[in-house]
Structure 1
C-alpha cells in the first residue's frame, strides 16, 4: 500500500504543519484545483484514521484535517450566497456519478469558447461506473488520473453521509473500493514519476521553427491543437485528434512513450546549448527531460497578431468532444 499521508506532489496531511504547507503550495494553482485537492486529501485522511491505532498519529492527522476543514469553511463563507444544506444534499445525490467540482466561471469571453478541461463521464455510482471511469482515464497524464480519482472518492464519501438507500450505499461502496485500489496501485508503482510535464506553447513554437521540415504532420497537428486552447494543456483532454478519435493528451503520451525509449541515451544539447535533433523531437510534443534548462536557453516564440485575431473571430477549426450528460 502506498503512503497516504504524503503525496509525490508535496501535499499531505500527516500533521498541522504539513496541512499548512500544503495550502501554501496550492496558492499557485487555480481555485478549483485547490478546492478539489483539499477535499481529496480530507477523504484520504479519514481513510487513514480508520486504519491507524497510534494516538499521537491520530491527533496529528485530526489537527491537519481541522486546518483543511476551516479552509473549506472560509472558502464557502466567502460566496455571495450560502447554499442551503438540504438542497446541497439532494444535489449531491443527483450528481453522485459526476465529479463534484464545478468549473470555475470564466470572465473572459474568449476563454468561454475554449474546450472543457475535465474528462466527461467519470462517476462512482456503482462498480460499472468506477470501471468506466478508470477506462476513460487510461493513457492520460498520471497526475490528472490521481487527482480525478481522489476527487471522486471525496465526492462519494460526502454522498454516503446523505444516502439512506441500502442498495445505493452498497453500490457506491463497491465503486469506492475499486477507486481506492487504483490509488494504492498508483502509489506503489510510483506512476506519478511517469507524468510528462508540459512546456509552454512559446517554446514549442520555437522548436517547430528550429526543426523545419523534420516536423511530422502529427506533430504539426498537435501544435495546432495546443495553439487552439491558448497553451492551456488541461483542455487537450477534450480536444480530439481528427484521425483516430483519441484526445490529444492521450496521443501525446503515447508518442512520448516511444520517443523517450528511443532517445533514452541521446545527447540533448550541442556545444552551443542548442537542442539536438533528437531533443527537438521531444520538444515538439511540449516535453523535455531537462525542462528547467530548456526554459533558460530556448526563447519563446509568440503567436503572430494576425493569428490571434483570426482565432478570436471564430476562425479556429478545432474539434472537441461533446460533454456527456
Structure 2
C-alpha cells in the first residue's frame, strides 16, 4: 500500500485516535481485507518505530499499535477452524454493526475444535450493568478457573468495543458493566477463590472408584454417566444439565464437593496406598485432594469398546457351546 493510497484511504497509525478512526473506516470492508490492512499497518508502524527517535512520536505510534493488536487478538479469540462461507461472513458484518453485536455478548472461547465443543455457557455479556450482573449470576457455582477466564475475556472484549464506539449511551453502559466485572475480579483475587478450584480427575479414575466404593449414590452414578456422555471432556459438563435439579453438572459437582471437603476435612485419605471410603466418595466426583498419588496407586478403568463387547460375548457363547451337554451328545 503506497503512501498516497494510504493517506487517501484515511488509514493510519500516527496515534491512538487515528488507529481508532482506521478501524471504523474498515468496518465497511470485508473481514479478510480488514485483517490484512491492519496487519499491514502494524508492519509499517514497526518499521517507522525503528527509524524514529522522537519520544512523543514513538509513544503515539505504540498506542496506535496497541489498538490494532487488541483488535487482532479479538479476532484470534473468536477464530474457528472452519472458515465461514460468504453469506455467513456478510451476516456477521451486519451483526457487528448492530447494538446487540455479538462482541457485546461474547464469552471465553475454548481452544477445542468447534465440532468437538459444546461447553459454551449462554447468557454472558457486558452491554450494560444488568447484563454484567446476569453474567455473574450465570457463573455462580461454576469452576473458579472458568469464572476468572470468562470475566477476563469479557473485560478485554468490552475495552476493544469501546475503542470502536462513538455512541455515548452505549459507551456509558459498557463502562458500568466493566466496573461490575472488574470488581468481581478484585474480590475474586482478594478472597483467593482460585484455591477453591476442584481440578478434575479423568473419567477412568471415577469409573475405578465406582467399582471400589462400598456404596454409591444415584447422583454420583448419574454424574459419572454424564461425564462419560461427553467423552470425559469436563468443560462440556457446563452445558449438560442434571435431570432432577435442573443445574449443569459442573455446578452440581462443585456443590457436592464443597460439602464433602468440609465433612472430611480431617479424614484419612489413604490406607496402605489404598484410597479410604471417604476418599473414594470424592473420587466418584472425579476429584482428589491428592490427585498425583491417586494417579500412582489407582489404575484407570477404560470403557470397553463395542467391538470388544461383541468379541467378549462371542467368546463366552463359544465357550458355552463347547461345554453344553446337548453339544456333547451330538458329538457322541
Contact 1:125–1:171 (CA<8 Å) still a contact in 2?
yes
* Structure 1 residues 242 and 79, CA gap change in structure 2 (3 angstroms): closer
Aligned to 1:209: 211
The alpha-carbon deviation at position 97 of structure 1 amounts to 3.1
CA distance in 1 between counterparts of 2:108 and 2:170 reads 21
Which residue of structure 2 aligns with residue 171 of structure 1?
A: 173
Instruction: From the superposition, tell whether residues 123 and 308 of structure 1 become closer, same or farther in structure 2 (CA, over 3 Å).
Output: farther
Alpha-carbon separation, structure 1, partners of 2:99 and 2:251: 30
Q: Give yes or no for contact 1:89–1:159 (8 Å, CA) kept in 2.
A: no
- Alpha carbons of structure 1 residues 96 and 195: separation in structure 2 relative to 1, 3 Å: same
Q: How far apart in 2 are the matches of 1:121 and 1:277?
A: 39
- In the TM superposition, residue 96 of structure 1 has moved relative to its aligned partner by 3.4
2:213 partner SS: helix
**Length, aligned pairs only:** 240
1:308–1:159 distance in 2 versus 1, CA, 3 Å: farther
Change over 3 Å in CA distance of 1:91–1:231 after alignment to 2: farther
Query: Which among 123, 126, 135 is matched to residue 124 of structure 1?
Result: 126
Cα distance in 1 for partners of 2:256, 2:245 equals 14
For 1:292 and 1:279, how far apart are their aligned partners in 2? Answer: 14
Distance, in Å, in 2 between the alignment partners of 1:269 and 1:142 is: 27
1:301 and 1:254 map into 2 onto residues whose CA distance is 25
Residues 92 and 159 in structure 1, CA contact (< 8 A), matched pair in contact too: no
1:262 alignment partner in structure 2: 263
Give the distance between the partners of 1:101 and 1:144, measured in 2 at CA: 8
2: distance between equivalents of 1:281 and 1:307?
32
Counterpart of 1:194 in structure 2 is 196
1:306 Cα deviation from its structure 2 partner = 2.5
Q: Is the 8 A contact 2:107 2:124 kept in 1?
A: no
Give the corresponding residue for 1:98: 105
- Partners of 1:173 and 1:289 lie apart in 2 by 40
The CA deviation at 1:291 is 0.5
Aligned pairs (5 A) from 1:75-86: none
Change (3 A) 1:128 1:233: same
For the residue of structure 1 that corresponds to 2:271, the secondary structure is coil
Shift in Å at residue 100 of structure 1?
Answer: 5.3
CA distance in 2, matches of 1:78, 1:219: 35
Q: Equivalent residue for 2:244? A: 243
Q: In 2, Cα distance between the equivalents of 1:308 and 1:248?
A: 30
Structure 2: 5+ residue stretches without partners:
1-58, 311-332
1:277 aligns with 2:277: yes
Q: 2 CA distance for matches of 1:74 and 1:261? A: 43
2:154 aligns with 152
**C-alpha distance in 1, partners of 2:80/2:103?**
25
Change in 2 beyond 3 A, CA 1:193/1:300: same
Cα distance in 1 for residues equivalent to 2:178 and 2:120: 20
Residue segments in structure 1 that go unaligned for 5+ positions in a row: 1-58, 311-325
CA contact (8 A) 1:122 1:133 kept: yes
- Is the 8 Å Cα contact of residues 104 and 157 (structure 2) preserved in structure 1? no
Shift in Å, 1:94: 1.4
TM-score (norm 2): 0.64
Aligned to 2:296: 296
- For the residues of structure 1 that align with 2:121 and 2:221, how far apart are their CA atoms? 24
Contact 1:89/1:162, CA 8 A, preserved across alignment: no
Map residues 21-100 of structure 1 onto 2, 5 A cutoff: 69=69, 72=73, 87=93, 90=97, 94-99=101-106
Greater length-normalized contact order (CA 8 Å, ≥ 6 residues apart): 1
Secondary structure of the structure 2 residue equivalent to 1:292: helix
**Over aligned residue pairs, what C-alpha RMSD do you find?**
3.5
**What is the CA–CA distance in structure 2 between the aligned matches of 1:303 and 1:155, rounded to whole Å?**
41
| Secondary structure at 1:135 match in 2 | helix
